[in-house]
Amino acid sequence: MSMRIVVLGAPGAGKGTQAARISDHFGTPTISTGELFRSHIAAGDELGQLAAGYIDQGNLVPDDVTTLMVADRLSLDDVAGGFILDGFPRTLAQAAALDRILGDRPLDGVVDFEVQIDAVIGRMLRRAVEQGRSDDTEDVIRNRIRVYHEKTAPLAAHYRERGLLISVDAMGEIDEVASRVVDALEHI
């Protein structure tokens, strides 16, 4: 099955984990902008150096830079049969850019992971200890959540109006949430 899917949700909502599950289940590759940025940062290249300044403060990397990176990635052969896009779009401008990139093969659905923010903060602080991410300190987490509310949360209404939104309750065990998502996607 060819699926062109976006996963949306607050920082720490478990999007990345669930994207990996969807990917395994349907055999569709995942593209994570956070992971792409982190690999550029690890490589120490120009894009990585630019992105690090934003990411470490919990701010968004500028739309034009992010969109170019995603357009490049979506031009590779492995996504011809579909993809799960994790972390993009994060602004309405990026959503418009994605429509342009996809052209006449638009998105099939947008999965929105719904969580309670308080639970998410605890989850992220634990992840900070496990993974040592430089943007997982408490102040930066609070800023990422603020940026999410301001810039990214409006995307849910945007995609709902287009009939693409699939809301999933993301509180609960990983397996439980994963089966809710798989069920929902099997019916699109």
Where do contacts with ligand ADP occur on this chain (CB under 6 A)?
11-12, 15, 33-34, 37, 54-55, 58-61, 66, 87-88, 90, 94, 135, 144
Residue 12 or 109 with smaller CB distance to ligand ADP:
12
Q: What's the closest the beta carbon of residue 1 comes to ligand ADP, in angstroms?
A: 25
Q: Which residues pair with 113 in a beta bridge?
A: 9, 168
Helices (H), the chain: 15-26, 33-43, 46-55, 63-74, 92-102, 117-131, 138-147, 154-161, 174-186
Helix, coil or strand: residue 81? coil
Catalytic residue among 4, 21, 73, 90: 90
Instruction: Establish whether 142 is a catalytic residue.
Output: no
Contact residues for 36 (Cβ-Cβ < 8 A; gap 6+): 69, 73
Residue 1 or 76 with smaller CB distance to ligand ADP:
76
Q: What's the closest the beta carbon of residue 108 comes to ligand ADP, in angstroms?
A: 19
Residue 86 or 180 with smaller CB distance to ligand ADP:
86
Q: What's the closest the beta carbon of residue 144 comes to ligand ADP, in angstroms?
A: 5
CA distance 40 to 175: 31
Q: Which are the catalytic amino acids?
A: 15, 90, 127, 133, 144
